[in-house]
Amino acid sequence: MIDDRYKITRGTPIGDGAFGIVVEAVNLESRSLVAIKVTKASPKYTQQAEKEVEILQKLNLADMPENEHVVKLLDHFHWKGHACLVFERLSHSLLDLLKLTRFEGLKISKVRIIAQQILQSLAFLDQAETIHADLKPENVLLSLPSGPASKQTFSDPKFKIIDLGSSFNSRNDLHCYIQSRWYRSPEVLLGVPYGTKVDMWSLGVMLMELLTGVPLFPGGRKPDTHRTHAHDMLVKFVQVLGPLPIEIVEASVKASDEFDASQLPVKKGTNGKESPASPCEQTSRGTVDLRDRLFQFELRRNATKALPRVALLRKISTSAVKRCGKGNDLRDFLDLVSTLLKYNPKRRSSPHIALEHPFFTTPSTAYQRS
């Protein structure tokens, strides 16, 4: 029992993370099934939960149809030192759907439905000047009654993004460490100024994963460089998308020049001693320093000369290509993804523009309801 109002219905959590756990429960007053996020009893996670509540309350109150693709916060309270957030009970995640295919990937007609709804949610967040900052398959859930995953259908699917615990307003100070590694954008890795377009990059990576069943940029899994995971991510980028554009390299080098640890201001710690301020307190500097000429050479050596759409096509298995049919769906899909995976965020599609792409407006195959 939680707060004398919610009775836990399962013996094990339905989700967990660094923040704490998520449990399924029934509201004893309304008899409705809910999901309760119970954070760890620490000031750090309590503050993070309070921020998530503030963002969700603002989003949920917005009188816009697009907000139906953002999870609904039903209640929040403190219980035995834990911050508790009560959400509507959703169903399976996109990762669960991929597991059903044995990681062979989804039909392109289903990927279209998912992509369109996520873009609608991102258009809504963009208008609210909110960065989700952790978009990935685990954080997009199907809004259907929970049951055996094999019996779920796409008759009238509705997908919702969840876990806005890392979200923040794009006008406020930017965080130096956001996004899960495989979905992290190049501007975050390189310390280049960023905005809501980081979520568009994550979406582009996700769409390829939904179609193929495997991550597009699994940095660190089978390293292509002996450096850090962040360096490996960049190597995997250029192997598919070609060399980094000069303006991004120059912007990253400039950011690195502005960050000089020996020149950082000092601050007094709790012990009264002075110590250098941390990089995150001083700048949004990324984790890769492109002043390293040897690594720049390594990137150029690994960079493909193929067009992104061609290199992306090579990542798709023969069986996945066959599932796309003989129309223009696959061509349009690859074109859409290539607009989402532009290195320069200024050239990356916005949610509103992406929704007008031919992949959505002139599909070759019908929206399959199976």
- Among 55-64, 110-119, 274-283, 323-332, top mean pLDDT goes to 110-119
Q: Residue 108: which of 337, 299, 272 has the closest Cα?
A: 337
* Model confidence band, residue 86 (pLDDT cutoffs 50, 70, 90): very high
Contact predicate 191/178, CB 8 Å: no
DSSP state of 68: G
* Candidate list 126, 134, 163, 332, residue with the active-site label: 134
Average pLDDT for 352-362: 96
Q: What is the pLDDT of residue 146?
A: 46
Q: What is the pLDDT of residue 51?
A: 93
d(C-alpha 140, C-alpha 93), whole Å: 6
Between 266 and 320, the more confident residue is 320
Average pLDDT for 12-16: 93
pLDDT tens figures, 24-35: 999 999 999 999
| Percent of the chain topping pLDDT 90 | 75
pLDDT tens figures, 177-224: 799 999 999 999 998 889 999 999 999 999 999 999 999 999 988 889
Active site residue 335: no
* Span of 10-14, 43-47, 103-107, 150-154 with lowest mean pLDDT: 150-154
Average pLDDT for 69-75: 96
Average pLDDT for 310-324: 94
* Model confidence band, residue 264 (pLDDT cutoffs 50, 70, 90): low
Angle 108-127/329-340 helices, nearest 10 degrees? 30
Q: What is the pLDDT of residue 154?
A: 56
Within 10 angstroms of residue 279's Cβ, the number of other Cβ atoms is 17
* Model confidence band, residue 286 (pLDDT cutoffs 50, 70, 90): low
> Structure tokens of 50?
């309070």
Helix H or strand E segment including 196: none
